[in-house]
């Protein structure tokens, strides 16, 4: 059984002009201890998906129409708020893109790490402090005692992201969701943070859902890759396999348009045409306007993700 | 910090000089003659003139002002024309009632304003939010006089829960404090709501929820502290405002505060009291703002760095 399995997730945002379908029939799976890269162009629904796992979207406006998000066998969409609260920051940790704005500016680093421990453990105050120090040391933050007394605005972007990570792993989560954790950082700091995440994964055996639009990062860090396009996963496969033999025309086009996979390719390379906006997606395959392999039925029928030998692809005419 | 306080003190002094000058000039320009008020209608012109000389009111305005300031630097606010009592004594005797009403009113404002504002922001767009908006709008535009009388009629006259007026016990304080607090609370609710809505949009609120913090904790710990600055500034303003007296509410409830003192003095053109009360009010406004400025960095540490 996978640690996390999203099965046909369908969600819309309710707005003034009716419901806007944002995620449509999204399926992906993540085994314990694995690193899954979730890649896709900006706006395709990566953050919304990540926040759905944590049930962080206010509903309304978010409306879950269909599907399940199974974590350790339980459907998170059916859990009540109390059970969800125990999971958030407990079994599932999350870090975000903007370390500058993701920490509360009016509380010390020490308070914010301590809070994560207080919410999920019955450790005594001294024990929590010792643990906070240990967490900072483990995330590569020097002089932990001084850092604990500082406010976020006194730290650099890289340090703040390390503090965010320390907070997110405080209670030994089984899954860490990292939503573009390095996008806002300098290239050198980016590499350090990724290295830290991999090291933590190796040490604690937690799984990592790494959201990025940097294919170079994916190539270097991920065991598995899920490629997202217009609100759904179009291809998921082990990283090596996906890079060597992509099957979905979108993935193939992406890979063909970058000469070399290096970290630091900030945006996904452009391929001709534009992504249809939510609400304007065609009834069939959302990639149809940009696809060179399209068939008759692509316009009217939407292909589902079909998995063969650990390689999932949602296409009527995949690359052989 | 010391430099900051020094600068604020200098500022305060300038403001006080300005305010005392303006008050002096305004009273001089006002129709009505204080001496005639003192002497009474039947007084002969000679009596009137002698009183005028006695009080120094025959001197040119600038000399009157200098004499007043001369006394002021020695801590002398002059004497009331009417009662012959020291103005400082008169004001001091009204201070406890005024401070009590101030504390009561601000407490009610905070209780009502914060809870309504926080709830409205938390359930933005809901029926509750709309109710809070309408109620706060009604509150800030309702006349104190009407609300005061209404509360007095219902809770003192009809129900008999509170005394009809006066001063001396907690029960006396409830209705006047409620009147001021209900109406002022409307401002607090609006300011709290908009400030909280702003804060609840921030990334660190998502972080707090992603940590497993419950709704109440997110609102009262993570959001409120970040949203508190405008509210603290309002408390600072209110301290100044209420120290200059809540004239209407004091009259409705027979509350012996500074407002009544000032109102009577204005009717009798008792210049020393008017100027004295004005100066006390100015000092209170300056102190209120200073207090808000001193508390602010303690609530929002980012301010510490900027200074
Ligand atoms: N709270 C919201 N209300 C309405 N639409 C939203 C909301 N959050 C995200 N969206 C929309 O959902 C789509 C996916 O957004 P997002 O998941 O942030 O994309 P990504 O992270 O892949 O860049 C976008 O079109 C965005 O405008
Ligand atoms: S389903 Fe058809 S249009 Fe869509 S990617 Fe495959 S071939 Fe292209
Ligand atoms: Mg995003």
Q: Decide if pLDDT at B304 tops 90.
A: no
Q: Which residues surround ligand 3, an ion (CB under 5 A)?
A: A 47
Per-residue pLDDT tens over the stretch B263-285? 888 888 888 888 888 888 888 88
* Residue B284 in domain: yes
Question: Distance from the CA of A276 to the center of ligand 1, in angstroms?
Answer: 14
Residue to test with chain B: of A104, A170, A173, most B Cβ within 10 A: A104
CA-proximal residue: ligand 1, atom 18 (nearest): A47
Q: For chain B, how big is the Rg over CA atoms in Å?
A: 24
Q: Are residues B25 and B138 in the same domain?
A: no
Q: How far apart are CA A86 and CA B306, in angstroms?
A: 38
Q: How far apart are CA A27 and CA A10, in angstroms?
A: 10
pLDDT band of A262, cuts 50, 70, 90? low
Q: Decide if pLDDT at B255 tops 70.
A: yes
* Closest chain A residue to B122, measured at CA: A58
CA-proximal residue: ligand 2, atom 6 (nearest): A315
Q: Are residues B69 and B108 in the same domain?
A: no
Q: HSE (CB half, 13 Å, CA atoms) of B286?
A: 18
Q: Decide if pLDDT at A251 tops 70.
A: yes
Cβ of A315 below 6 Å from ligand 2: yes
Q: Are residues B154 and B261 in the same domain?
A: yes
Q: Are residues B233 and B168 in the same domain?
A: yes
* Residue B167 in domain: yes
Question: Distance from the CA of A45 to the center of ligand 1, in angstroms?
Answer: 6
- Which among A156, A143, A50 is positioned nearest to A95, based on CA atoms? A50
Q: How far apart are CA A201 and CA B84, in angstroms?
A: 84
Question: Distance from the CA of A291 to the center of ligand 2, in angstroms?
Answer: 6
Q: Across chain A, how many H-helices and E-strands are there? A: 11, 12
* Residue B86 in domain: no
Stretch A175-189: mean pLDDT: 89
* Residue B85 in domain: no
Q: Are residues B249 and B198 in the same domain?
A: yes
* Residue B256 in domain: yes
* Residue B90 in domain: no
Q: Decide if pLDDT at A257 tops 80.
A: no
Q: How far apart are CA A285 and CA A316, in angstroms?
A: 9
Q: pLDDT at position A259, please?
A: 61
The alpha carbon of residue A269 and the mean position of all alpha carbons in its chain are separated, in whole angstroms, by 20
Q: Are residues B253 and B135 in the same domain?
A: yes
Q: How far apart are CA B263 and CA B273, in angstroms?
A: 10
Q: Are residues B268 and B119 in the same domain?
A: yes
Q: Which residues of B touch A160 (CB under 8 A)?
A: none
Give the list of residues 6+ apart from residue B180 with CB closer than 8 angstroms, or none. B101, B104, B105, B108, B109, B144, B242, B246, B249
* Closest chain B residue to A88, measured at CA: B212
Q: How many domains does chain B have?
A: 2
* A212 DSSP β-pair partners: A39
* Closest chain A residue to B229, measured at CA: A106
Q: Are residues B57 and B124 in the same domain?
A: no
Stretch A217-241: mean pLDDT: 93
* Residue B244 in domain: yes
- In the block, residue with structure tokens 């907690």: B170
Q: Are residues B116 and B204 in the same domain?
A: yes
* Stronger pLDDT, A113 or B29, i.e. the higher one: A113
Q: How far apart are CA A119 and CA B109, in angstroms?
A: 32
Which of ligand 1's atoms lies nearest the C-alpha of A13?
Answer: 4
* Stronger pLDDT, B47 or A105, i.e. the higher one: A105
Distance from CA of A81 to the nearest CA of B (A): 9
Cβ of A13 below 6 Å from ligand 1: yes
* Closest chain B residue to A117, measured at CA: B211
Stretch B103-123: mean pLDDT: 96
Name the pairing type of β-strands A207-212 and A175-179.
parallel
Q: How far apart are CA A304 and CA B122, in angstroms?
A: 39
Q: Is A30 exposed, middle or buried (0-12, 13-18, 19+ CB in 10 A)?
A: buried
The closest CB to that of B301, out of A88, A98, A151, belongs to A151
Q: pLDDT at position A160, please?
A: 93
Q: Are residues B164 and B36 in the same domain?
A: no
Q: Which residues of A touch B202 (CB under 8 A)?
A: 101
* Residue B194 in domain: yes
Q: pLDDT at position A269, please?
A: 63
Looking at chain A from residue 84 to 103, which residues have their Cβ under 8 Å from any Cβ of chain B? 85-90, 93-94, 96, 98, 101-103
At residue A278, the 3 state secondary structure works out as coil
Q: How far apart are CA A237 and CA A247, in angstroms?
A: 10
CA-proximal residue: ligand 1, atom 8 (nearest): A48
Per the CB < 8 A criterion, the answer to whether B176 and B279 are in contact is no
The closest CB to that of A102, out of B203, B214, B226, belongs to B203
**Superfamily per CATH, domain A4-91+171-260+267-313:** P-loop containing nucleotide triphosphate hydrolases (3.40.50.300)
At residue B56, the 3 state secondary structure works out as coil
Residue A260 burial (CB count, 10 A)? 7
Domain span at B137: 96-299
Stretch B21-49: mean pLDDT: 77
Mutate to test the pocket of ligand 1, among A9, A42, A48 (most ligand atoms within 8 A of CB): A48
Nearest-5° Cα angle at A148, A144 to A149: 125
Q: What percent of chain B has pLDDT over 70?
A: 99
Residue to test with chain A: of B210, B226, B296, B304, most A Cβ within 10 A: B210
Domain range summary for chain A, segments of one domain joined by +:
4-91+171-260+267-313
Q: How far apart are CA B75 and CA B88, in angstroms?
A: 9
Q: Chain B within 8 Å of A79 (Cβ-Cβ)?
A: no
Averaged confidence pLDDT in chain A:
91
Q: For the ranges A19-28, A93-102, B163-172, which has the lowest average pLDDT?
A: B163-172
Q: Are residues B26 and B175 in the same domain?
A: no
Q: Are residues B115 and B227 in the same domain?
A: yes
């Amino acid at each position: 059984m996978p640690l996390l399995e999203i099965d046909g997730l369908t969600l819309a945002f309710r707005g003034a002009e009716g419901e806007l379908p944002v995620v449509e029939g999204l399926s992906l799976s993540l085994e314990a201890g694995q690193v899954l890269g979730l890649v896709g162009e900006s706006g395709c629904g990566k953050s919304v998906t990540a926040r759905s796992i944590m049930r962080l979207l206010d509903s309304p406006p978010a409306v879950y129409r269909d599907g399940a998000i199974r974590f350790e066998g339980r459907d998170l969409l059916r859990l009540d708020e109390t059970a969800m609260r125990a999971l958030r920051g407990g079994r599932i940790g999350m870090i975000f893109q903007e370390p500058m704005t993701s920490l509360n500016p009016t509380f010390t680093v020490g308070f914010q790490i301590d809070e994560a421990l207080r919410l999920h453990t019955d450790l005594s105050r001294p024990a929590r402090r010792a643990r906070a120090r240990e967490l900072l040391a483990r995330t590569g933050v020097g002089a932990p005692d001084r850092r604990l007394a500082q406010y976020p605005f006194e730290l650099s972007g890289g340090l703040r992201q390390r503090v965010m990570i320390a907070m997110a792993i405080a209670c030994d989560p089984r899954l860490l969701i990292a939503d573009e954790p390095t996008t806002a950082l300098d290239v050198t700091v980016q590499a350090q943070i990724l290295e830290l995440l991999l090291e933590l994964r190796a040490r604690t055996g937690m799984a990592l859902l790494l959201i990025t639009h940097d294919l170079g990062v994916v190539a270097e860090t991920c065991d598995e890759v899920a490629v997202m396009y217009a609100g759904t996963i179009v291809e998921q496969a082990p990283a090596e396999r996906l890079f060597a033999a992509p099957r979905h025309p979108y993935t193939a086009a992406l890979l063909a348009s970058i000469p070399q996979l290096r970290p630091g390719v900030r945006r996904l390379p452009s391929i001709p045409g534009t992504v249809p906006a939510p609400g304007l997606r065609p009834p069939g395959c959302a990639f149809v306007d940009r696809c060179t392999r399209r068939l008759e039925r692509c316009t009217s029928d939407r292909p589902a993700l079909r998995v063969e030998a650990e390689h999932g692809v949602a296409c009527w005419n995949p690359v052989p | 910090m010391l430099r900051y306080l020094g600068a604020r003190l200098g500022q305060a002094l300038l403001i006080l000089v300005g305010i005392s000058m303006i008050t002096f000039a305004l009273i001089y320009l006002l129709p009505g003659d204080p001496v005639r008020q003192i002497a009474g209608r039947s007084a002969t012109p000679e009596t009137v003139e002698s009183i005028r000389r006695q009080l120094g009111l025959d001197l040119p305005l600038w000399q009157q002002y200098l004499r007043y300031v001369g006394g002021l630097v020695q801590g002398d606010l002059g004497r009331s024309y009417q009662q012959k009592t020291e103005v400082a004594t008169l004001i001091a005797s009204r201070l406890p009632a005024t401070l009590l009403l101030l504390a009561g009113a601000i407490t009610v404002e905070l209780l009502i304003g914060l809870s309504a504002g926080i709830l409205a922001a938390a359930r933005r767009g809901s029926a509750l939010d709309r109710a809070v908006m309408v109620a706060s709008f009604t509150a800030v535009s309702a006349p104190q006089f009407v609300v005061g009388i209404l509360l007095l009629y219902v809770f003192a006259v009809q129900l008999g829960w509170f005394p009809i007026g006066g001063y001396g016990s907690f029960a006396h304080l409830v209705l006047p404090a409620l009147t001021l607090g209900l109406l002022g609370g409307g401002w607090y609710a609006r300011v709290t709501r908009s400030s909280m809505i702003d804060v609840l949009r921030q990334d660190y609120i998502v972080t707090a929820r992603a940590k497993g913090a419950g709704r109440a904790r997110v609102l009262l710990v993570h959001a409120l502290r970040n949203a508190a600055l405008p509210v603290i500034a309002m408390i600072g303003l209110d301290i100044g405002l209420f120290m200059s007296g809540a004239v209407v509410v004091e009259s409705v409830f027979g509350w012996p505060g500074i407002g009544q003192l000032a109102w009577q003095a204005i009717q009798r053109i008792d210049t020393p009291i008017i100027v004295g009360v004005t100066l006390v009010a100015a000092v209170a406004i300056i102190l209120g703002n200073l207090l808000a400025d001193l508390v602010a960095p303690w609530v929002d540490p980012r301010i510490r760095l900027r200074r």
